[in-house]
Amino acid sequence: MNELVILLVEDNRRDAELITEALKEGCGPHRLILAKDGDEALRFIKNQPTLVLLDLNIPKVHGIDVLKHIRRDPSTRMIPTIIFTNSKSEEDVFACYSNFCNAYIRKPLGFDEITDVLQATNLFWFQTATLPKPPPPQTGPTIRPPVPES
């Protein structure tokens, strides 16, 4: 099985540490990449992680715009993207599903609760659901073959 690479987009240092520890307990072997703001998230997403955990209220580029970007890019649009945030505002939930997040989960209180949620996410996406093979990453602008002059 391929290595599980999780991109965690989280600006809150404490939440990031708790989620990191919870992933260690609940999600088996994996590699974790932490993005502390929207810019970093957009940079790391090019590496095609297997799962994105995305906070909404993050500096620089807002979470919803990161989500839009992930869905626009053909090389990343199939990556399961889970919104993991504190807000339970109807507007946020609506906006995230309208932009094709795979799930909207409100961060629960308690370490065990966080672990349970992440374990369930892992279980569903990597042991239950079938995912497509990722398309080749887009490394740069497409170069057109030169058209021979006639």
User: How far apart are CB 63 and another protein at their closest, in Å?
Assistant: 14
Q: Which residues contact 47 (CB under 8 A, 6 or more apart)?
A: 5, 33, 137
Strand partners, 118: none
Q: Residue 100 or 113: which CB sits closer to another protein?
A: 113
For 53, counting Cβ atoms within 10 Å of its Cβ (0-12 exposed, 13-18 middle, 19+ buried), the class is buried
Q: Residue 84 or 126: which CB sits closer to another protein?
A: 84
> Considering the rule CB under 8 A, would residue 114 count as an interface residue with another protein?
yes
Considering only 72-80, 84-92, 128-136, 142-150, which stretch makes contact with another protein by CB under 8 A?
A: 84-92
**Which residues from 4-43 bind another protein, rule CB under 8 A?**
12, 14-15, 18, 21
From the list 76, 73, 89, 124, the residue with the least C-alpha distance to 103 is: 124
- Of 29, 74, 110, 141, the one binding another protein by CB under 8 A: 110
Contact 55, 13 (CB under 8 A): no
Phi, psi of 3 (to 5 degrees): -70, 140
Q: Which residues are at the interface with another protein (CB under 8 A)?
A: 12, 14-15, 18, 21, 86-90, 107, 109-112, 114
